[in-house]
Amino acid sequence: MTTSPSLTAAAAPAQDVRVPARALTTAGLAVLLLGFLPVNFTFGAVNLLVPAIAADLGTSTASGGLVLSAYTTTFAAGLVVSGRLGDRYGRRRLLATGLTSFAVLAVLTALAQGLTDLVVLRAALGLAAGLFTPQVLSTIQVTAPENLRTRGIILFTAAGAVATIGGQVVAGAVAVLLPGHLGWRAVQLVTAAIAVGAVAGLRKVPESRSEAPLALDLPGAVLLGGGLVALVVPLTTGPGAGWPVWSLVLLAVSAVFLTVFVVAQLRAERRGLLPVVPPSVLRVPAVRLGLLMTMLFFVTYGAFLYEISEYSQTVWGADVWDAAVHLLGFGFGFLVTALLLPRILRRVGPRVMAYAALGQAGTLLGIALVVGLDDGGSAPVALQPLLVVLGAAQAMMYGPVLQTVLSRTPTWAAGTAGGLFTTLQQLGLGLGVALLGGLFHAVASAADGTASAEATGSDAGLAVGLVVALAVQAGCAVVFAVLAVHATKRP
C-alpha cells in the first residue's frame, strides 16, 4: 500500500530500451513480486512494532518514530536516481544489488543495540529499497509479453497491499511467540529471508537496460536526500523534546540543502540537462495539483497507521497481535475496495475521489469521537466498522489520482511526473509520522504538562493528542476533496 503500480508504471523506462534476450516468464514474474514484498512488509511490521522497539531500546515511542521515518525518507531520496541507474547498468543487476543489501541490512537491524544504531541502519535499508523497487515494475514493463504484463501489473497492485497487511499480521504472531526483546528482531530476520529468497530466484528474470540512459545527477540526489533527512529527523523528535538546539540547527541545514538543490535544478535545466526534479515538469498545473494530493494522502495515511498502532498498545493495553487484529478491518476495507475499484470507476467516474475524501473526513471525526468518549474497553470493537469504511475510502481516494492527473499532463512530462509521484508517496509517509505523529505527542505532552521526548504520556493526554491529530487529518481530507474537484474538471 506504500507504492502504487500506477505510479511506477507512469515512470516506466523510455522507449529506447534494448530488447531483452529472453522474455519474462511466469516464474520470473513470481520472483519479481517476491522481491517487491519486503518493501511494504517491513513498513507494515515496524509500524506496529514501534512501541515494542522503543521499550526494548529504552526510548520513547516519539523517538521511536524515527525508525519509521528514517526508512521512508531515504527510500524517497533513493528513488530519484535508481530508475536511471537501472537504465544504465541493468535492472536485474540493480535488483540483485539492492535486494542483497536489503537482506544484509535487515539482519543488522535485528542486532541493533541502541536507537541511533537502528535509525542509521533503517535509513540505509530505505536506500537499498529505493535502489531495487523501481526495477521491479520496469522489468515487467520492458520484458513481459503483453498478456503477462497486464497480469503482472494487477498482481503488483495486490502484492503491495498484501505485504503491508501481512507485515502487521506476521509482526503480531511473532511477538506472541517470542518475548518482546526478541519478537521485533525476529521480524527483521523474516524480512531478510524474503529478500534472500528473491535473490536466489533472480536467474529466472531477464536482464534489460536502456540504449540511451539519462544522466544520473548525483549531486542533485545528494542535496535532496540530505535536505529531506535533515528535515524529517527534527520534525519527528523536536515537538516532544521541546525543540532542543540541535533540532533547530538541523532545520537550518535542511533549508540550506533544499535551497541549493532548487537553484541547482534550475541551473541544470537551463543548461539543457535533465535534473532529478525538472522545474519545467513542476510548472505543469496538473502535475502540481496531483503532487499536492499525493502528499496530503500519504501524510495522513502514514500518520494514521502510526498513531492508531501506538494508541492501541499504549492506552488500550493491546499486545502486538491484538494491535494487528485491530487494524485488519482497515486493511480489509482497503484491499476489497481496491479490487472493486475498476467497476466503481466505471459507474461513478473520477469524482469518486472527492466523495471518498469527504467520507474519510467524516470517518476520522467519528473515530475521534469514539476515542474521546471511550469508557475504557469498548472502543476497539466500536471502531471496527469505522476502520472498514476508512480503508474503503482511502482506496477510492488515491486509486484514480494518477490516471486523472496524468490524463491532463503533456506527454513529454508524464514519465517524469510519474516518478515524482512515486517519490512523494514515500516522503509523505515519513512526513506523516514526523508532522502529525509529532503533533500527536506534542499535544499529549502539553495535556499532561510535560515536554520530554522520553515521556510517553498519560492515557488521557494521549487521547487528547489522538483526537487533535485525527481532526487535523480530517481537515487534510477536506482539502483533498476540494483539490479532487479541480482535478476532475475538464481542462
For domain 277-491, give its CATH number from 3.10.310.30, 2.40.50.100, 1.10.3720.10, 1.20.1250.20: 1.20.1250.20
**What's the pLDDT score for residue 398?**
79
Compute the chain's Rg from CA coordinates.
Answer: 21
249-253: long-range contacts (C-beta < 8 A, 24 or more apart)?
253/226
Quick one: DSSP state of residue 271?
Answer: T
**What's the pLDDT score for residue 273?**
81
Asked if 168 contacts 44 with a C-beta cutoff of 8 angstroms, the reply is yes
Q: How many CB atoms lie within 10 A of CB 256?
A: 13
Tens-digit pLDDT profile for residues 317-364:
888 888 888 888 888 888 888 888 888 888 888 889 999 999 999 999
C-alpha cell at 267: 541551473
What torsion do the CA atoms of 153, 292, 296, 365 make, to the nearest 10 degrees? -120
- In whole angstroms, give the CA distance from residue 74 to residue 487: 30
Q: Which residue has the cell 527510500?
A: 75
pTM summary value: 0.80
What is the amino acid identity at position 115? L
Quick one: DSSP state of residue 19?
Answer: P
Region label for 132, one of left (φ > 0), alpha (ψ between -120 and 50) or beta (otherwise):
alpha
CATH class of this structure's domain 1-216: mainly alpha
Q: Return all residues near 225 (Cβ < 8 A) that are at least 6 apart.
A: 74, 77, 78, 80
Residues of the chain where predicted confidence (pLDDT) is lower than 70: 1-21, 62, 154, 157-158, 180, 212-213, 239-241, 375-377, 405-407, 409-419, 448-457, 490-491
Tens-digit pLDDT profile for residues 453-481:
444 557 778 888 899 999 999 999 999 99
Q: Can you give the residue ranges of every domain in the chain? A: 1-216, 218-273, 277-491
Asked if 477 contacts 358 with a C-beta cutoff of 8 angstroms, the reply is yes
| Burial degree of 179 (CB within 10 A; 0-12, 13-18, 19+) | exposed
C-alpha cell at 310: 501506538
Task: Please calculate the CA angle 218-78-8 and round it to the nearest 5 degrees.
Answer: 115
Instruction: Taking the CA atoms of 133, 139, 141 and 142 in sequence, report the sign of the dihedral they define.
Output: positive
Q: Return all residues near 410 (Cβ < 8 A) that are at least 6 apart.
A: 284
Find how far residue 418's CA is from the centre of its chain: 15
Give the C-alpha distances (Å, rounded to integers) separating 221 from 200, 233, 240, 318, 443: 30, 18, 30, 41, 35
